Amino acid sequence: MKRLSIRWRLTVWIGLTVCAVLLLTGVAMVLSARHLLLARAHDALAEELREISTELDIDGDEAAFLSAANARFFYHNIYEFAIFATDGRPIFRSVGLQNVTPEELHAADYDQHVRLRKCRLGDGREMLVSGWIKASSFGPLVVTAATSTEPFDRELLTLESTVAMILPISLGCALLCGYWLAGRVLRPVRVLAEAARALSIDRLDQRIVVENAHDEIGQLTETLNLLLSRLETAVQEIRRFTADASHEIRTPLAALRAEADLALLRVRTPEEYQQALQIIVSEAERLGRLADQLLDLSRTDAGAVQRPLHPVSIAEILRETVEHLQVLAEQREIHLTMDSGLCGAVFGDAFRLSMVCSNLIENAIKYSHPEGHIRVSCRPEGAFTVVEVADDGIGISAEHLPKVFDRFFRVDSSRSTGGAGLGLSIAQGIVRAHGGEITLSSAPAQGTVVTVRLPHATGTVHAEHTRRQPELAPPERQLATSNH
């Protein structure tokens, strides 16, 4: 069955269903017909029984009854009659029951109510017998009226033969109609398959036409179109990422080669060689940082970054990060302060959370004015710990805010400080992997506020977070760095 096509499987199921319905209908018809025929026979026999019983009431003695019964009921179309005394003595028997005995007619089973019995006589005939016990002037009598079952059986056999003949014909018609209907139903699937086969990596902008959005095929088509949209977006992101990464790698490589070529053009003084080597080392470090960030992104995207998670003090991580970056802030004449409340512990990886804090504070330092202020704070808020890094630097315009977490995105490349545009994206991936969220609000010349919300390491939040932390990979493939 599994090797058959869907069309043939639908055809077989339609045929089996129709066959079962017809079989049940045929059995129901035969049983209903048998019941109706028995009811009709019973009514007819009961009427004949009442007629001969009325004759018993009219005639006063046995002789008068026999005279009238022989005249009216001895030959009586398809019905036969037999009357016995309760001791088994025959009173009257019509022509077809001359040799019948009370035992053959089950005379002992009757009472004052009319009963219908099916009896087999000694000569092999099957009869439908209706009888009862009737009081008369010459004693209680067992009065019976009978008719042959042959017409009854003949009508049932005709009906059964008709049903048996209709069943295979109807089954054949059902299979043919089912095969045709299955083809009609599956035609949109064939069209969908052909349209899907025509798609390629270079034609992901095409969409499959939805004929009816309300049926299952239409819903499947819409789902495929949504999948194509996501694939198109993913391919565009991959191409953009590849182009941006190539550009970022090519820049330090070009600087390295240019400095090396200049150093080799002519003999230089030791100071000039030292200056060239310093430039080369600086560009090599930049290239190394970019390679490390790209490697970290690829590992995170692949779900390979898995470290044991423990309750850690986010306030302590912030304090160490601020102390570490205080020298850089002082070199730029920027006031870096920290305001830590009783924010408690979060459940996570201290090393990767320190990467987030370092990225955010470094961004704030890079894009703040001299004599500017950067405030790092930590506070509890419901079931979360909220970390904020606020500066009064150059800010970001509204049209650029939706893209700040994109990889390689930098608001103004002319004001770039050497970053590759991956820091915020990496920070976003780490925060999401910890079950939290990161948001950014900013305005030009008014500064920027980056907010990180992380679940507490206690209570229900801790339990839920533990259940969803088997891997430190973000739910969406969207990570990156110093974008601000």
Per-residue pLDDT tens over the stretch 265-310? 777 788 877 887 887 887 787 677 667 766 666 666 555 455 567 8
Query: pTM to 2 decimals?
Result: 0.44
Residue 459 clears pLDDT 80, i.e. is over it: no
Segment of 49-53, 190-194, 199-203 carrying the highest mean pLDDT:
49-53
Residue 64 clears pLDDT 60, i.e. is over it: yes
Determine the pLDDT at residue 247: 59
* Out of 341-345, 386-390, 437-441, least confident range: 341-345
CA atoms within 13 A on the CB side of 6: 9
Rounded to a whole number of angstroms, the CA Rg of the chain reads: 50
Residue 320 DSSP code: H
Q: How far is CA 360 from the centre of its chain?
A: 41
453 beta partners: 386, 437
For range 41-52, the mean pLDDT: 88
Domain with CATH 3.30.450 in the chain: 6-154
Residue 412 clears pLDDT 60, i.e. is over it: no
Q: Which of 337, 346, 372 minimizes the C-alpha distance to 462? A: 346
Q: Which of 102, 184, 181 minimizes the C-alpha distance to 144? A: 102
For range 131-159, the mean pLDDT: 88
Residue 17 clears pLDDT 50, i.e. is over it: yes
Domain with CATH 1.10.287.130 in the chain: 216-301
Residue 400 clears pLDDT 70, i.e. is over it: yes
Determine the pLDDT at residue 391: 92
For range 418-441, the mean pLDDT: 79
Domain with CATH 3.30.565.10 in the chain: 310-467
Determine the pLDDT at residue 308: 63
CA atoms of 351 and 389, how far apart (whole Å): 19
Mean of all residue pLDDT scores within the chain: 80
CA dihedral 117, 123, 125, 129 (to 10 degrees): -20
CA atoms of 196 and 208, how far apart (whole Å): 8
The number of beta carbons lying within 10 Å of the beta carbon of residue 274 is: 11
CATH classification code of 216-301: 1.10.287.130
Number of residues that this document lists for the chain: 484
Indicate the pLDDT class of residue 409, thresholds 50, 70 and 90: low
Q: Name the class of domain 310-467.
A: alpha beta
Longest dimension (CA), the chain: 161
Indicate the pLDDT class of residue 251, thresholds 50, 70 and 90: low
CATH classification code of 6-154: 3.30.450
